[in-house]
Amino acid sequence: MTSDGFAPKRPGWEAYFLAMAMMAATRSTCIRRQVGAVIVTDNRILATGYNGSPSGTKHCEDIGCLRQRLNIPSGERHEMCRAAHAEMNAIAQAAASGTAIAGCTLYSTHEPCSICSKLLINAGCKRIVFIHPYPDELSADLRSEAGIISDVFNGTDEVLRILRGAREG
């Protein structure tokens, strides 16, 4: 109950899962962009991921950003990065636990790049919901061609309300 005696508004599923993706992003070790992802089927979380260096390797926040050093613009040369993307890590987490994700929805703080989109297509993802668009035309084209539904989430205020409520509770 709130101080005025009313129960707080229960969040919708999409806002809830995107709030979870935002929480996952807080674990990121990337110094340029913090990204979180949540893989869901039937309103059940199957895996989460955030962008960061592969297990057992040095983090960019400790040794600097290769992309910054090489002056690579956002949306280009994805392979020139120490970090595994949030979507990659979520797929890897599901695979490591033997969790099938075919037919899933991916909730992400950012639109997937073309490399992550290819992985999501091959993993059988059916829908992607994200908050922030990403400058990668090929990514959107591939997802469209593969029949993946891509939605920009416009309820960021609701997501932020969820996160504020979690801190205050």
**Which residues are known to be catalytic?**
87
Helix (H, G, I), strand (E, B) or coil at 17: helix
pLDDT band at 8 (very low <50, low <70, confident <90, very high): low
pLDDT, one tens digit per residue, over 42-67 is: 999 999 999 999 999 999 888 988 88
Looking at the DSSP bridge assignments, the partners of residue 129 are 107, 151
Q: Is the pLDDT of residue 161 over 90?
A: no
Q: Is the alpha carbon torsion for 101, 125, 130, 72 positive or negative?
A: positive
CB atoms within 10 A of CB 134: 19
> Residue 167 carries which side chain, given as an amino acid letter?
R
* C-alpha–C-alpha distance, residues 21 and 44, integer Å: 14
Confidence band, pLDDT 50/70/90 cuts, at residue 27: very high
Residue 19 is predicted with a pLDDT of 95
| For residue 155, pLDDT beyond 70 | yes
Q: What pLDDT, on a 0 to 100 scale, did the predictor assign at position 3?
A: 61
Which two structure tokens, joined as six digits, stand for 100? 């099938």
> What does the alpha-carbon distance between residue 118 and residue 151 come to, in Å, rounded to a whole number?
17
pTM, to two decimals: 0.88
Main-chain dihedrals φ then ψ at residue 118, nearest 5 degrees: -60, -40
Q: 157 pLDDT band (50/70/90 cuts)?
A: confident
Under 8 Å between Cβ of 90 and 25:
no
